[in-house]
Amino acid sequence: MSGFFRLERPAEFGGAVAHLVMARPDKANAMSPEFWEELPAHIAALEADASCRALVISGEGRHFTAGMDLSAFEGITKLAEGEPGRGAYALRALILRLQRSITALEDARFPVIAAIHGACIGGGIDLVTAADIRIASVEAVFAVEEINIGMAADVGTLQRLPRLIPPGIARELCLTGRRFTAEEARGWGLLNALHDGREATVAAALAMAGEIAAKSPLAAAGVKRSLVYAAEHSVADGLDQIATWNAGALRAADLTEAITARAQKRRALFPDLPAA
């Protein structure tokens, strides 16, 4: 698959880590219609690849992404023409499709790490808030841009950002559209770490992905699924969910291998999960 993204599988991780690079640097990786089609397709292909245990997403060039490409708004404008009811129906269907593209990251069985540098604007916030972990370069700048062009963000930022940072801060950012720095984002808890420049940021993200990929993929899938579930349910529901998960998924083989490897001071070896 080729187009908006470039998929890499760094050899040092034995193919267990995938690196999905937004490769439109001349357009600041602005999210063209191809972005929305290719992202879920890449995730589905990696889901079907049993060897993939972690994913890093980054941007090529000066910026992570400038957000939605203006060409995408041309199609949205056309939907407003003609009979209002049918236009509204079509627009809602389009928004739901864009939402599913981003939610594919959250639904993936493997952890997703966003390696952010330069600008991360508008749809970029939708993208990184759906990732499991966010690492950025110190010069990165962010903005929930949609309010500045006369609309409410509708692809996930309003739903996910208040779960990641203080709700009052999230409301300020979404209502003002102001730029905020990587230092601010780290202070609010949006970012896990800061590094100097794109190369160091991507390297740190890949190293973390490699560390995760060395764990039991069954356990990692359980952790991710339970964290996503817990964010949307009560503590009691979350406790019930993880009890059910471990009752079905907790197996002696991975436990024994992890404990034995630790005692022998060697790397634990875990079988891949079946391909989706």
Cα angle for residues 111, 161, 96 (degrees, 5° grid) = 80
Buried b (16+ CB within 10 A) or exposed e, 186-211: bebebbbebbeebebbbebbbbbbbe
Q: How confident is the model at residue 201 (pLDDT cuts 50, 70, 90)?
A: very high
Distance, CA of 25 to CA of 256 (rounded, Å): 47
Distance, CA of 61 to CA of 25 (rounded, Å): 5
- 261 against 124, higher pLDDT: 124
Among residues 63, 15, 61, which one has the least CA distance to residue 210?
A: 15
Distance, CA of 4 to CA of 127 (rounded, Å): 15
Residue 247 φ/ψ, nearest 5 degrees: -60, -35
pLDDT of residue 87: 86
β-bridge pairing 5-8 and 17-22: antiparallel
pLDDT of residue 253: 87
How far does the chain reach from its first CA to its final CA, in angstroms? Answer: 19
Q: How confident is the model at residue 276 (pLDDT cuts 50, 70, 90)?
A: low
CA-to-CA dists, residue 72 to 33, 67, 78, angstroms? 6, 11, 11
CA-to-CA dists, residue 64 to 2, 89, 225, angstroms? 19, 32, 27
CATH architecture designation of domain 5-213 = Alpha-Beta Complex (3.90)
Q: What is the pTM of this model?
A: 0.94
CB under 8 Å to 126, separation ≥6 — which residues? Answer: 102, 153, 155, 156, 157, 160
| pLDDT at position 274 over 90 | no
Token couple for 138? 């110190």
pLDDT digits (tens, 9 = 90+) for 158-199: 999 999 999 999 999 999 999 999 999 999 999 999 999 999
Mean pLDDT on 223-243:
94
